[in-house]
Amino acid sequence: MMHSMSSNAAEATAGNEATESHDVYLKSLTLVERLHRRLLDVIKDELDRMGNTEINSVQALLIFNIGNQEMTAGELRTRGHYLGSNVSYNLKKLVEAGYINHQRSDQDRRSVRVKLTEMGHEIREVVEALYDRHWQQLEQVADIRMDELEMLNSTLFKLERFWTDQIRFRL
């Protein structure tokens, strides 16, 4: 009888640990999703402060990620930043607004290469300055040390690799 009680207690403990780790994973998923939305809110607030109502935060982030490079929409997608139709739509809007130049690739006429205009570089500098201000305030204001960020980055990279493998290998 004593053996049965300790076995039941061990099973209950294992069940509680599994439930707790499941809840931690779900909380992590919620935080990742919420953090991305909050980043977009922060960028939108910065655009509003400078009086730019012409582009949205997704487009400003797209501009930031293009940077000084010349690339295709496909290259932006493969970097994992955007969904296909989202990239095409936003690039079209940014070209129309004068933030991005585009031209057909000489090698593949179906492919369009994009790069920032002077206006695009100005937006990129706004986002970069915002990120720099935040980086300088992280430890003092948010109590986030660089070693904590390094650990977070390592963990997020592992999670990304896990999800990529789920898709690639259909696990």
The answer to whether residues 127 and 99 touch, using CB atoms and an 8 Å cutoff, is no
pLDDT tens-digit readout, 105-123: 677 767 788 999 999 999 9
On whether residue 114 sits in a domain, the answer given is yes
The pLDDT assigned to 96 comes to: 96
Report the amino acid identity of residue 63. I
The domain total for the chain is 1
User: What's the whole-model pTM score?
Assistant: 0.83
Copy the structure tokens of residue 88: 């095409």
The pLDDT assigned to 3 comes to: 57
**Beta pairing, strands 100-104 & 71-72:** unpaired
End-to-end CA distance of the chain: 42
User: Is the pLDDT score of 170 beyond 90?
Assistant: no
On whether residue 106 sits in a domain, the answer given is yes
pLDDT tens-digit readout, 60-109: 999 999 999 998 888 888 775 566 668 888 999 999 999 999 987 677 76
On whether residue 48 sits in a domain, the answer given is no
On whether residue 10 sits in a domain, the answer given is no
CATH of the domain at 62: 1.10.10.10
The pLDDT assigned to 2 comes to: 53
On whether residue 7 sits in a domain, the answer given is no
- The residues near 142 (Cβ < 8 Å, ≥ 6 apart) are none
How far apart are alpha carbons 119 and 123 in whole angstroms?
7
Query: Which is more confidently placed, 156 or 19?
Result: 156
The answer to whether residues 59 and 93 touch, using CB atoms and an 8 Å cutoff, is yes
For the chain, the helix, strand and coil percentages under 3-state DSSP, each to the nearest 5: 75, 5, 20
On whether residue 152 sits in a domain, the answer given is yes
